[in-house]
Amino acid sequence: MLSHNAKLEKEIKEYDSLTSYGNRHFSQPIPKFEIPEDGMPPEVAYRLIHDELNLDGNPSLNLASFVTTWMDDEADKLIAENNDKNFVDNDEYPQTAFIHRRIVNMLAKLFNAQEDSNFAGTCTIGSSEAIMLALIAHKWYWRENRKTKNVNALPNIVMGADVHVVWKKFAKYFDVELRMIPMKEDCYILTAEHLEDYIDENTIAVGVVIGTTFTGQIDEINEINDLLEKIKESKGWDIPIHVDAASGGFVIPFTDPDFKWDFRLSNVRSINVSGHKYGLVYPGVGWVIFRDAKYISEELIFNVNYLGGELPSFSLNFSKGSSMVLAQYYNLLRLGMKGYTNIMENLMQTSYYLLDKIEKTNVFDCLTEKLVLPVITIKLKDEFLDCTSVFEISEKLRQHGWIVPAYTLPSNAENIAVLRIVIKENFSRSMADILVRHINEIQKYCVLSLDKSKQQKHHKKPQINIY
In a domain, 22, yes or no: yes
Q: Is there a single domain that holds both residue 101 and residue 214?
A: yes
pTM for this entry: 0.89
In a domain, 338, yes or no: no
Task: Give, in order, the Cα–Cα distances in Å from 235 to each of 99, 228, 241.
Answer: 43, 10, 17
Final residue in a domain of this structure, among 282, 300, 332:
332
Any bridge partners for residue 271, and if so which? 243, 289
In a domain, 64, yes or no: no
CATH number at residue 44: 4.10.280
Which structural domain, as residue segments, surrounds residue 376? 346-457
In a domain, 462, yes or no: no
What is the reported pLDDT for 250?
98
Q: Cα 102 to chain center, whole Å? A: 23
Final residue in a domain of this structure, among 306, 332, 358:
332
What is the reported pLDDT for 110?
98
Q: Is there a single domain that holds both residue 384 and residue 424?
A: yes
Range list of H helices, 294-404: 323-359, 390-399
Number of domains comprising the chain? 3
CA distance 296 to 283: 26
In a domain, 464, yes or no: no
Q: Is there a single domain that holds both residue 375 and residue 310?
A: no
Any bridge partners for residue 205, and if so which? 157
CATH number at residue 403: 3.90.1150.160
Q: Is there a single domain that holds both residue 80 and residue 52?
A: no
Q: Is there a single domain that holds both residue 430 and residue 324?
A: no
**Beta carbons of 405 and 65 less than 8 angstroms apart:** no
Q: Is there a single domain that holds both residue 176 and residue 207?
A: yes
Q: End-to-end alpha-carbon separation of the chain, Å?
A: 91
**Beta carbons of 251 and 70 less than 8 angstroms apart:** no
What type of residue is 199? I
What is the reported pLDDT for 38?
83
Q: Is there a single domain that holds both residue 147 and residue 231?
A: yes
In a domain, 272, yes or no: yes
Q: Is there a single domain that holds both residue 244 and residue 98?
A: yes
Count CB neighbours of 66 within 10 A: 20
What is the reported pLDDT for 171?
95
In a domain, 406, yes or no: yes
What is the reported pLDDT for 197?
95
Final residue in a domain of this structure, among 297, 332, 367:
332
Query: Phi/psi of residue 348, each to 5°?
Result: -65, -40
CATH number at residue 286: 3.40.640.10
Q: Is there a single domain that holds both residue 18 and residue 167?
A: no
* DSSP-derived 3-state class of residue 161: coil
Q: Is there a single domain that holds both residue 186 and residue 239?
A: yes
Count CB neighbours of 23 within 10 A: 19
Task: Give, in order, the Cα–Cα distances in Å from 147 to each of 142, 295, 447.
Answer: 9, 17, 64
In a domain, 33, yes or no: yes
Print pLDDT tens along the chain (467 aa): 556 666 656 655 555 556 666 677 777 777 788 888 888 888 888 888 888 898 888 998 999 999 999 999 999 999 999 999 888 777 778 899 999 999 999 999 999 999 888 999 999 999 999 999 999 999 999 999 876 666 678 999 999 999 999 999 999 999 999 999 998 878 899 999 989 999 999 999 999 999 999 999 999 999 999 999 999 999 999 999 999 999 999 999 999 999 999 999 999 999 999 999 999 999 989 999 999 999 999 999 877 766 556 677 788 887 788 999 999 999 999 999 999 999 999 999 999 999 999 999 888 999 998 999 999 999 999 988 888 899 999 999 999 999 999 999 998 888 999 999 999 999 999 999 999 999 988 877 766 666 665 555 555 544 433 33
Q: Cα 124 to chain center, whole Å? A: 13
What is the reported pLDDT for 331?
97
Which burial class, exposed, middle or buried, applies to 273 when counting CB atoms under 10 A from its CB (0-12, 13-18, 19+)?
Answer: buried
Q: Is there a single domain that holds both residue 215 and residue 112?
A: yes
DSSP 8-state code for residue 188: -
Side-chain half-sphere exposure of 413, counting CA atoms within 13 A: 22
Q: How many residues does the structure list for the chain?
A: 467
What is the reported pLDDT for 321?
84
CA distance 112 to 247: 18
